[in-house]
Amino acid sequence: MALKYAKKWKLFLFLIISILDSFQSVFLAYLLKVFISFAQKPMGNLVGLTLFAISGLIIFSIIGILFQYSFLNLIHDINIKIKEITTDHIVNINDQAKLDTSFMTNDLKQIETSKVVAELKIFNYILKFLTAIITAVIASWFISLIFFIAAIIPALVQNFAGKKISANSKKWEKANSNYTATVTETIDGTTIFSLYNSENSIAKRLIKSAREMEDALQSTNLSKGIANELTSFAAYCFGMIFPFSVGVYLITIGNITLSTFMMIVQLSNNFVNPIVNIFMCVNDIKTTTPIWTKFIKIQKYKRQASDNSSTPVFNNLSLINATIHFDKQTIFQNVNLVIKQGEKILLQAPSGWGKSTLLKVLLGKYKLDSGTYLINGEKANGNWNKDHELFALINQQPFILNDTIEYNITLGQKVTKQELNKAVSKAGLEELIRKKGYQYQVGLGGKNLSGGQNQRIEIARALLKQRQILLADEATSSLDIKLSQKIHAAFLKEFPGTVIEVAHHIAKDEISMFDRQIDLETNNKSN
């Protein structure tokens, strides 16, 4: 249940308020009986009775407001907790198990509207049912028993329709995920589509995906709607009309009074309606089954803490006959490499060789299929939690958040102003900071800055962490030669530790900045 993610004291408070709220139907039924009895045989003061009724309604209105606040506050807290768990998974899980965008945007909203809300409503409906049935039994156990038994019939209808709803929900979840991915691809590729005049075909592709998603959603909602209608029919037919017939008969033979029967009829709304609504809520919950199953797997995921307490002093790393495959395709094989502390190394290979994959092997993100990876003579193959603490990384396309310059450099971690200024100075960002300031918003993808400025932000981020090894993945391939030289000078001269850059092309003047150049394609075995 999603309710387990709520704070226990808030659930208890909701229980108390719900119990009080459930007595409103009992109060209204009692008023109906009293007014009918007064109409049949006037006794007492009608004005006083009316004031009593109004006073009671005012009290229950206040309780109702408290109920709404408690209800919505629980939904808020549960949704935040679920998003916290999902966020922790997103930022810590490995690349192979990443969630798609639709899970955070669409699927979690579906859990909120069709599971969290439904569970809380079921909780409230059960209380309303219990207070109504207990009060009715006190008034007349026989007619109450008839109402109760007849109201159970809809359960058979709901059970029959439940499997169909769950099956259609799985199809919708899959179609919705595919649609979200297609939308993202379409938005990202607008320039390419326009360049090759393929807008019409791409639009048809997106519309096809949207149609498949909408068809699946329609099937899910239709099966749920049909189940709800059939459940409502069974509930009103067996839970109201049949008991009414019996009740009218009992009145005609003098077994119960009209006022007592009308009170039970009023209460019967809280036999039938809560049961109908519970079944509808159950159907809503069934639509979230595939999404909730995925979330439970996320919730069970336990990330390992980084072992940064024992990060060793880096002396050397080596690859021996290193080979890696993806989907039975060889990315690279038999790579031999030795790099010592403090060296500035350039690794060159043609585009598509697998240079980025090689860097992820060094980081511990990917594990070799064969061969050996050693750091300081110890096995380090796929040991991300420990070994990534040695590395900083500069990407070809700088990773820039839609936030301030300072946040992009620190990634929200606490650092001293002195440390921040030092990293900014070494990365050559002092002029930008003087003009814009640390709190300048860089825009989505760093659109408010130049390519070189974004690259320097990434360099400042790497320098700030003071890691022992700096990896650069095609760090300047998208920049002009003059800017590329400045960027290389920034991190090669200012970074005190070991630098390993992979590139498929680099100017001769920049090659001279490195201690060694290694051609990965020929796999120089002397290194």
What pLDDT is recorded for position 96? 44
What pLDDT band is residue 195 in, cutting at 50, 70 and 90?
Answer: low
Do 274 and 376 sit in the same domain of this protein? no
Name the domain count of the chain.
Answer: 2
Do 296 and 336 sit in the same domain of this protein? no
What pLDDT band is residue 128 in, cutting at 50, 70 and 90?
Answer: confident
* pLDDT at residue 306 is higher than 60: no
Is 525 among the domain residues? no
Boundary-marking domain end, from 265, 300, 335: 300
> With contact defined as beta carbons under 8 Å apart, do 3 and 120 qualify?
yes
pLDDT tens string 398-449 = 888 888 999 989 988 888 999 999 989 888 888 999 999 999 999 888 889 9
Is 527 among the domain residues? no
Do 39 and 19 sit in the same domain of this protein? yes
Q: How far is CA 39 from the centre of its chain?
A: 59
Sequence-separated contacts (24+) of 102-109 with Cβ below 8 Å? 102/176, 102/177, 102/179, 102/180, 102/181, 103/177, 103/291, 103/294, 105/180, 106/176, 106/180, 107/173, 107/176, 107/177, 107/291, 107/294, 108/79, 108/82, 108/83, 108/295
Do 158 and 92 sit in the same domain of this protein? yes
Given strand 370-375, what is the order of strands in its sheet?
A: 329-340, 316-326, 370-375, 378-379
* pLDDT at residue 181 is higher than 90: no
Mean pLDDT to the nearest integer, 5-15: 91
What pLDDT is recorded for position 433? 94
What pLDDT is recorded for position 321? 92
**DSSP state string for 441-457:** B--GGGTTS-HHHHHHH
What pLDDT band is residue 524 in, cutting at 50, 70 and 90?
Answer: very low
Is 494 among the domain residues? yes
Q: How far is CA 104 from the centre of its chain?
A: 3
> With contact defined as beta carbons under 8 Å apart, do 332 and 357 qualify?
yes
Lowest mean pLDDT among 46-55, 141-150, 445-454: 141-150
Boundary-marking domain end, from 266, 300, 334: 300
User: What's the whole-model pTM score?
Assistant: 0.66
User: Looking only at Cα atoms, what is the longest distance across the chain?
Assistant: 111
Is 526 among the domain residues? no
Q: What is the CATH number of the domain that holds 64?
A: 1.20.1560.10
* pLDDT at residue 50 is higher than 60: yes
484 against 12, higher pLDDT: 12
Residue ranges making up the domain that contains 257: 2-300
The stretches of 41-140 forming alpha helices (DSSP H) are 46-92, 101-102, 108-111, 117-139
Do 402 and 346 sit in the same domain of this protein? yes
Is 19 among the domain residues? yes
208 against 94, higher pLDDT: 208
Do 58 and 86 sit in the same domain of this protein? yes
With a CB cutoff of 8 Å and minimum separation 6, the contacts of 365 are 94, 95, 384, 388
Angle between helices 8-40 and 258-287 (to 10 degrees): 150
Name the phi and psi angles at 473, rounded to 5.
Answer: -105, 100
Mean pLDDT to the nearest integer, 130-157: 75
* 19-48 exposure pattern, b = at least 16 Cβ within 10 A, e = fewer: ebbbbbbbebbbbbbbbbbeeeeeeeeeee
Do 279 and 396 sit in the same domain of this protein? no
Q: Judging by beta carbons within 10 Å of its beta carbon (0-12, 13-18, 19+), is residue 434 exposed, middle or buried?
A: exposed
What pLDDT is recorded for position 404? 92
Do 336 and 296 sit in the same domain of this protein? no
How far apart CA 162 and CA 27 sit, in angstroms, is 35
Do 135 and 200 sit in the same domain of this protein? yes
What pLDDT band is residue 462 in, cutting at 50, 70 and 90?
Answer: confident
Token pair, residue 117, equals 């809300």
Q: What is the CATH number of the domain that holds 345?
A: 3.40.50.300
Boundary-marking domain end, from 273, 300, 327: 300
Element (H, E) at 325: strand 316-326
Is 524 among the domain residues? no
Is 401 among the domain residues? yes
